[in-house]
Chain A
Amino acid sequence: MNVLITGSTGYIGHQLALELALKGYQVHALVRNLKSEAIPKHKNIQLFEGDICDLKSVLCAMKNCQMVFHTAAYTNLKCNKIDSFYSVNVDGTKNMLEAALQHKISRFIYTSTLSVYGPSYKNVSITESQPRLASYMNDYELTKSMSEDVVSSYEQKGLPCVILNVSRVYGPGLKTYSNGVNKLILSMIKNDFLFVPSRLNSIANYVFIKDVVNAHISAMDNGISGEKYIIGGENLSYSKLFNIIKHITKSRIKIVKIHFSFLKACFSIINGCKRILGQPLSMTSNVLDSLFTNRRSSSEKAISSLNYTVTSIESGLIQTINYLIQKS
């Protein structure tokens, strides 16, 4: 079977493409730059130069494919231009869906984010039926949510679609914007002090990259069209996450807490100066807010209907840490 994948130079897409190729699928990878170092290499992976923002190139790459994995997205929260997000996440997704409808694709698997559900309420885990309780926090959430509406509209038109809402991913893999946990582990290995915002009890859901890849593959056969599935792992506070990483790496790192609002104010001032000087931003208040929002969630639905299994955080982190140590 031929499958098309977008975002194969990204964190999830890269490993998904390789896993599909390993399983014997003929993978069509749509890439913007054929010379990118992040391109997955395998004899079953055929490269197509193009861009999801260019419908013609999408139509061409999708020829003879039966299924589509759309993992490409614009995720850079440091960007403050909504149109960068909109053109890729909404218009780009629309192109993908349009091409899929024309090619009579039998399954369109869309990689989305847990953040479209907004924050979790108190100790209640987010499930697929939770209404959003707060406004969109940033342009990424807004445009991903809008793109899900576009996916639903194509599902109504007869294109079989499944949406996967992935929580915070960690694990071996490409160094991209989307895997902050790896960056955190590296800095905990290398440094003596770690400066962190004071909201260490905010809870997020951490999912191991291999689980995410497996969920995508399982959705090909087991996902029901029109359904959404939360693909997550364990719910953890930052303090617990730090403790587990410290324990595994036997690190003696000192964690220094800095008042959250003070830190945010500092970054605002620094970024204001950097913007004037035209320098790239290292951290923005958007990113901070997003990192310290409670997102406790449950993947029960995926577990019961996609045969989804969760790697324990300890086991996942050990594999990740070994990988990172080997690489450096």
Chain B
Amino acid sequence: MKTYTLITGGSMGFGKALAIECAKMSMNLVLVALPNSGLVELSQFLKKNFNIDVLCYEMDLSKEENCISIYSDLKKNDATIKYLINNAGMLSNGLFEDMNSDYFLTQIKVNVATPTLLSKLFMDDFKANVPSGILNVSSMASFFDLPKKQVYGGTKAYLLSFSSSLRKEIAKYGISVSIVCPGGMNTTSRLCLQNRRLGWISRQSIMNPEEVAKVTLRHFFNGKAFIIPGNVNKLFMLMNRILPQFLKHRLTRNAI
């Protein structure tokens, strides 16, 4: 039986950078992303050039049955999961009163329900493959009060709380649970453009996904519970504790 690392949202941005870093470490991959997001091309490239096996699933993770079908398909293929990286997430940026309820309900499913369900589905796999682990991708947004990111920040705060509690529960099996809270990253071209138009202070915190992926995975495989990539982001966290509210708001005005 081959062991795999499962990465959700692996076709673009941070998920893609994590996939490439894992491929460099010769880990077999299971990548999941929405259809037409470049997933097949990425999977083929990694499979061909990194001498690893890559299975890919183009599907919508907001649906419970899709998560279950990934699980059963992997079992059919004799694949077992050693590491799970819950990276898929839906961003949002808008006033709550203008938000479509379908949108945030789906967002809550993808950002909250899906990572929780996947963690549960593969629990026996993790136990069978110790040392193993779960990496949940949260955000700096989970620490700050960000207007226009109410639901997003809330879903990320859930992951933070879920991860640290679950970590205490399953550490006894040798399964590590880590949480990473990246700040702004140059992921989609729209965000790259937005980031380049930021003011000087905010721009200092922006990182490229490949740097964040390197740092994150190094800490994850060392079993670190709580990962904040980047010195500027660490500084933000420190300032969050000591600065008055109005200054914090100014600093996080444009953060993602």
Contacts and interface: CB of A to CB of B under 8 A. Distances in A.
Interface of A: 82-83, 86, 121-122, 124, 129-131, 133-136, 139, 142, 145-146, 149
A82 B193 contact: yes
A82 B197 contact: yes
Given A121-B49, A124-B49, A149-B189, A135 B209 contact: yes
Nearest to B42: A131
B41 A131 contact: yes
Interface string B171-202: 00000000000000010010011001100000
Give the most central of A82, A133, A142, A146: most B CB within 10 Å: A133
Interface residues of B, number: 17
A6 to B, nearest CB: 22
Contacts of B210: 134-135
B197 A135 contact: no
A146 B193 contact: yes
A86 B193 contact: yes
A98 B41 CA distance: 30
B82 interface: no
Given A86-B193, A121-B49, A142-B193, 14 more contacts: A82-B193, A129-B44, A130-B41, A130-B45, A131-B16, A131-B38, A134-B210, A135-B186, A135-B209, A135-B210, A136-B186, A136-B189, A142-B196, A146-B189
7 contacts: A82-B193, A86-B193, A131-B45, A134-B208, A135-B210, A146-B189, A146-B193
B20 interface: yes
Nearest to B189: A146
Contacts of A121: 49
B186 A122 contact: no
Nearest to B211: A135
A124 B189 CA distance: 25
Nearest to A123: B49
Nearest to B13: A135
Interface string B6-23: 000000000010001000
Contact of A145 (B49, B189, B197): B189
Contacts, number: 38
Interface of B: 16, 20, 38, 41-42, 44-45, 49, 186, 189, 192-193, 196-197, 208-210
B101 to A, nearest CB: 28
A133 B20 contact: yes
Nearest to A139: B196
B45 A142 contact: no
Give the most central of A122, A131, A145: most B CB within 10 Å: A131
Contacts of A149: 189
A124 B46 CA distance: 12
Given A124-B49, A131-B45, A142 B189 contact: yes
A135 B197 CA distance: 17
A82 B42 CA distance: 28
Nearest to A137: B208
A171 B15 CA distance: 41
Contacts of A145: 189
Contacts of B45: 129-131
A142 B186 CA distance: 11
A323 B196 CA distance: 41
A129 B20 contact: no
A136 B209 CA distance: 11
A86 B42 CA distance: 27
A136 B41 contact: no
A142 B210 CA distance: 16
Give the most central of B16, B45, B193: most A CB within 10 Å: B193
A89 B208 CA distance: 23
Contacts of A135: 186, 192, 208-210
A122 B49 contact: yes
A149 B192 CA distance: 14
Given A134-B210, A135-B209, A142 B41 contact: no
Ranked 4 nearest A-B pairs via Cβ:
A135-B208, A131-B42, A82-B196, A146-B189
B41 A129 contact: yes
A120 to B, nearest CB: 11
Contacts of B209: 135
Contact of A142 (B20, B42, B192): B192
Contacts of A86: 193
Contacts of B42: 131
A131 B196 CA distance: 23
Contacts of B197: 82-83
Nearest to B45: A131
Contacts of B44: 129
